[in-house]
Amino acid sequence: MVKDVKKEISSLKKELSLLKRNFRDKYGKILNELQEIGYKHNYEFVIEEEPTTYLDNYYERLIEKVKPNKTFKDVIFSNELRKQIDMIIYQVQNHDLLLSKFGLKKLQESNAISLNFSGPPGTGKTLTAEALAYELKKKLYIVRYSNLVDSYIGETGKNIVKVFEIARKDDAILFFDEADAIASTRTQIFSSSDSETNLTRNVLLKELEKFKGIVIFATNLAGNFDKAFERRINLHIIFKVPDIKEREQIFKLLSHGLPLSKDIDFYDIATRYEFSGGHIRNAIINAARIAIASKKDKVTQEDFIGACNLVKEGKALIIQDTNDKGNLNYLG
Side-chain-side CA neighbours of residue 58 (13 Å): 24
pTM of the model: 0.72
Given a cut of 70, is residue 327 above it in pLDDT?
A: no
Q: What percent of the chain has pLDDT over 70?
A: 66
Whether the CA torsion 224, 236, 137, 211 is positive or negative: it is negative
Between 118 and 100, the more confident residue is: 118
Q: For residues 218 and 175, is the Cβ–Cβ distance under 8 A? A: yes
What phi and psi, each to the nearest 5 degrees, are found at residue 260?
Answer: -105, 140
Model confidence pLDDT, tens digit, residues 237-275: 999 999 999 999 999 999 998 999 999 999 999 999 999
User: Residue 12: what pLDDT?
Assistant: 64
> What gap in Å lies between CA 46 and CA 43, rounded to an integer?
10
User: Residue 44: what pLDDT?
Assistant: 45
User: Residue 290: what pLDDT?
Assistant: 96
Q: For residues 173 and 141, is the Cβ–Cβ distance under 8 A? A: yes
> What gap in Å lies between CA 282 and CA 330, rounded to an integer?
19
Model confidence pLDDT, tens digit, residues 39-96: 445 544 444 444 444 445 666 778 899 999 999 999 998 889 999 999 899 888 887 7
Between 271 and 34, the more confident residue is: 271
Q: What are the angstrom distances between the C-alpha of 203 and each of 68, 113, 141, 209?
A: 28, 18, 19, 10
Given a cut of 70, is residue 14 above it in pLDDT?
A: no
Spell out the alpha helix ranges (H) of the chain.
2-16, 24-40, 52-60, 79-93, 95-100, 125-135, 145-148, 155-170, 192-210, 227-232, 244-254, 266-272, 277-293, 301-319
Length of the chain: 332
| Phi-psi domain of 237 (left: phi exceeds 0; alpha: psi -120 through 50; beta: other) | beta
Side-chain-side CA neighbours of residue 118 (13 Å): 15
H/E stretch holding 139 reads: strand 139-144
Model confidence pLDDT, tens digit, residues 96-105: 776 666 666 6
> What secondary structure does DSSP assign to 203-236, as a single string?
HHHHHHHH--SEEEEEES-GGGB-HHHHHH-SEE
> What gap in Å lies between CA 318 and CA 325, rounded to an integer?
12
Between 211 and 47, the more confident residue is: 211
Q: For residues 237 and 198, is the Cβ–Cβ distance under 8 A? A: no
Interior/surface letters 282-311, b for 16+ CB within 10 angstroms, e for the rest: bbbebbbebbeeeeeeebbbebbbbbbebb
Model confidence pLDDT, tens digit, residues 172-206: 999 998 777 776 554 444 444 445 567 778 888 88
Mean pLDDT of 21-48: 50
> What gap in Å lies between CA 190 and CA 194, rounded to an integer?
6
Cβ atoms < 10 Å from Cβ of 74: 15
